[in-house]
Structure 1
Amino acid sequence: MATILAFAGSNSSKSINYELVKHTVSLIDGNEIQLLNMVNFPFPMFSEDLERENGYSNSLVELKNDMVKADGIIVSVNEHNSGPSAYFKNLTDWLSRVERKFLDGKPVLLMSTSGGQRGGMTALETTEKVLPRFGAQVVATFSLPSFQENFKKGEGVTNTELAKVHRAAVDQFLSKL
């Protein structure tokens, strides 16, 4: 049995990326899932001054330790102004200061969604290029366009073709654990 850590790169209480992550982990049987709601992880904006004066918060160190212990990571990144959110960038900044390779060797299923037709693709593509710098092995990606039309709470991905692509990405990720 593998341990999977799953979260969205958003700290919004109404995150559609978190909804996608919750649905994704509901499709996985026979593994231990640790689903994190990042609303519960408020981190100050990274600053070398803050780091020097205060060090690292317990919640940051615990999050990094959970990532290190996990056999795989599922993350869905949200997009703000054609890039990953400031929250997600800030999170990776802090984590990389605690341990540069905080995702060392971890298989990652990287996803994104948005209300638009591109489904957060720019944030996904940017993040796919950045995560290997922290040791991640991005083994599968999935983008869900037009969230409100293609996803229903309690049902998941409602577009049949997109649901197949999503399931294939999940299965590819699971095969790497």
Structure 2
Amino acid sequence: MKVLAFGASNNKQSINQQLAQYAAKQVPNADITMLDIDSLEMPIFSDEREKQLGQPEQAQAFYKAIGEADLVIISFAEHNGSYTAAYKNVFDWTSRINMQVFQNKPVIMLATSPGPGGASSVLAAASGSAPYFAADVKGSISLPSFFDNFDMAEQKVTNEEFNSQLLNVIETL
């Protein structure tokens, strides 16, 4: 199974990138591609820029990567209760290529933060809107208090409730 995984953040030390990678490694026999949102930096989307630039290569590459995957795993970082500007911009540009950004692929949506909320606000927004963009959301799981529930040396989640929920979702694939 080809798994595309990424943290929806352009932070080089993204805890969401680490969580997405951990989740992808739980998929049996996965061929994992880790995407770095920072590599998809583009001008801030606007109608005027779209008329000038067309569809940037980065948005086309993102859309193609989703199309080539059998499963997409996204872990959302939360900035002020919403998406990071970096992810939102990539998503906005890509939605102009095709509103069915997720191309009916199965998607596991995750989120984490250093605090007890676990980025649950952005996860709820992402999960709620995903079907409008042709995502087949298989699961939506938040990991609260990342640094209390993730072993940085072992690169693994230590929270058994989260692990159980994640494995239950993976078993449905």
Mapping 1:101-112, distance limit 5 Å = 101-112=100-111
Show the counterpart of 1:162. Answer: 162
Q: Which residue of 2 aligns with 1:129?
A: 128
Q: What SS does the corresponding residue of 1:23 show, helix, strand or coil?
A: helix
User: Is the 1:142–1:169 Cα contact (8 Å) retained in structure 2?
Assistant: no
- TM normalised by structure 1 equals 0.90
The answer as to whether partners of 2:83 and 2:122 remain within 8 angstroms in 1 is yes
Question: What is the distance in 2 between the residues matched to 1:163 and 1:105?
Answer: 25
After TM superposition, the score normalised by the length of structure 2 is: 0.92
| 1:13 aligned counterpart, secondary structure | coil
Equivalent position of 1:47 in the other structure = 46
Q: CA deviation at 1:18?
A: 0.4
Shift of the alpha carbon at 1:111? 0.3
Cα distance between partner residues in 2 of 1:38 and 1:21: 12
* Residues 60 and 95, structure 1, Cα contact 8 Å, conserved in 2: yes
Q: Summarize deviations over 1:25-83 as a string: whole Å, max 9, x none.
A: 22223132211121222122111111111112222212211212222211011111111
Q: Name the counterpart of 2:8.
A: 9
- Residue 144 of structure 1: CA displacement? 0.3
Kindly state the Cα deviation for residue 166 of structure 1 after the two structures are TM-superposed. Answer: 2.8
Structure 2 portions without partners, runs of 5+: none
- Cα–Cα, structure 1 residues 161 and 101, in superposed 2: closer, same or farther, change >3 Å? closer
Letter matched to residue 156 of structure 1: K
The amino acid that maps onto 1:40 is S
Which whole-Å CA distance do the structure 2 matches of 1:165 and 1:132 have between them?
21
Query: Contact 2:37–2:86 at 8 Å: present in 1 too?
Result: no
Structure 1 residues not aligned, in runs of 5+? none
Moved more, 53-62 or 9-18: 53-62
Name 1:82's counterpart in structure 2.
81
Aligned to 2:67: 68
Query: Which residue type is aligned with residue 24 of structure 1?
Result: A
Q: How many residues align?
A: 172
CA contact (8 A) 1:24 1:170 kept: no
Letter paired with 2:41: P
